[in-house]
Amino acid sequence: MAHAPHPLATLDQIINTPSSKDGIPREVEADLRVAGCMLIQEAGVMLKLPQNTMATAQVIFHRFFYVSSFYSFGVNDISISSLFLSTKLCETPIRLRDLINTYLFLLARIQHLLNLPADQPFKIRPSLGSASDWQLGDGQRKQSSKGKEKEQDPIWDGFKFDVPGFHDEVFWEWKDVITASEMQILKRLGFNMQVDLPYSHMINYLKILDLVFEDEVAQMCWSILNDMLLTPMYAIHPPHTLACASILLSTRLLRIPLPEGWYILFDTTFDDIWSCSGHVMKVYNGWGIGTPRGTTNSGFHMSQHDEERTGKENRWRRAWVLAQSRKAVRRWLEEREKNQVTT
């Protein structure tokens, strides 16, 4: 099986990332990657873009920060530019103004949450067993299929957002940011924008393993591949390895046995797919996100202790604050160094 032609991070880039050289801890770097990819995914969903476009943008985002540092480039700037560039690569064009307004809305939501008292928990009404249990909603009342109005989450009480006017300066500021960041992405990645996604590989492998018609297996594999975009695995492993990792994790969660050594058929190793699966589970556990719907242990996170839940929410808050700009990252590093000196 020929390996994918798109570029992958080298071992040196993985071990010695530009951000780590600037003193950014590994955990913080991983959190900033998650925050940036979440923004891309939510903006893409609101703009009704296909998953292929959103996935391409997130892969580009991960690749960029293997050649650049969060110390030098802001998460929000690169994420919105990656999505705009992806719409061109995947031929799913959108109006630049729509993209900017969507990001402004998402950033206003985040600022609303950051303005809440630090000791106030995120009272988000969850849907048990869903991988999107901790999504932040849209702050508006929705109509159900039966015409009944759904009650909004109380966390959004008092949230307001005004769409900027056509000639407001904020639009032109963001337009300049996107143009400059887009050129930085192209230049630093050597104009190599080839992205091979694992979705088609996964379907073909399920057919070979006679699992494509098993209840919820294909859908769960698809969901896991989407969740894996929050991790840098797409920039480290080829697509056939990612596809096998989604199958391994799905069958483990659904308690479905697989033939011994099945992964050898698809030219991958158990260590690689086990590593990918571990990174996904780390995101589920570390960020308070539930496993995909239908798993035997879905909803396990709902019984978290208050201290554990508070720690995860503080992790969200830190990532959102640092994602605002590169200046926020630099200020955090300076304060961290001062605290280390005083202690």
Q: Per residue in 250-298, pLDDT tens? A: 999 999 999 999 999 999 999 999 999 999 999 988 876 666 655 554 4
Instruction: Say what the pLDDT of residue 115 is.
Output: 86
- CA nearest neighbour of 219 among 321, 294, 134, 302: 294
The helices-and-strands tally (H runs, E runs) of the chain is 13, 2
Helices 169-188, 75-89: crossing angle, 10 deg rounding: 70
pLDDT of amino acid 168: 87
- Percent of the chain whose predicted confidence (pLDDT) is above 70: 82
Give the pLDDT confidence of 173-222 residue by residue, as tens digits.
999 999 999 999 999 999 999 999 999 999 999 999 999 888 889 999 99
193 within 8 A of 249, measured Cβ to Cβ: no
Mean per-residue pLDDT, 14-27: 93
Residue 161 confidence (pLDDT): 84
Residue 7 to residue 5: CA distance in whole angstroms: 7
Mean pLDDT, residues 129-150 taken together = 42
Dist CA 40 CA 46 (whole Å)? 10
Give the DSSP letter of residue 151.
P
The span from the CA of 72 to the CA of 21, in Å, is 12
DSSP class of 209: T
Name the least confident of 121-135, 161-175, 227-241: 121-135
Domain 23-139+158-195+305-314 shares a fold with domain 199-301: yes
CATH code of 23-139+158-195+305-314, in short, is: 1.10.472.10
Closest C-alpha among 137, 79, 11, 46 to residue 325: 79
Asked whether the beta carbons of 195 and 54 are under 8 A apart, the reply is: no
Average pLDDT of the residues in 52-72: 96
> What residue ranges do the domains of the chain occupy?
23-139+158-195+305-314, 199-301
Joined together, the tokens standing for residue 198 give 């694992």
CATH architecture of the domain formed by 199-301: Orthogonal Bundle (1.10)
Task: Give pLDDT tens digits for 319-328.
Answer: 999 999 999 9
pLDDT at 249: 95
Tell me the C-alpha to C-alpha distance, in Å, between residue 150 and each of 90, 122, 126, 154: 35, 19, 14, 12
Q: How confident is the model at residue 139 (pLDDT cuts 50, 70, 90)?
A: very low
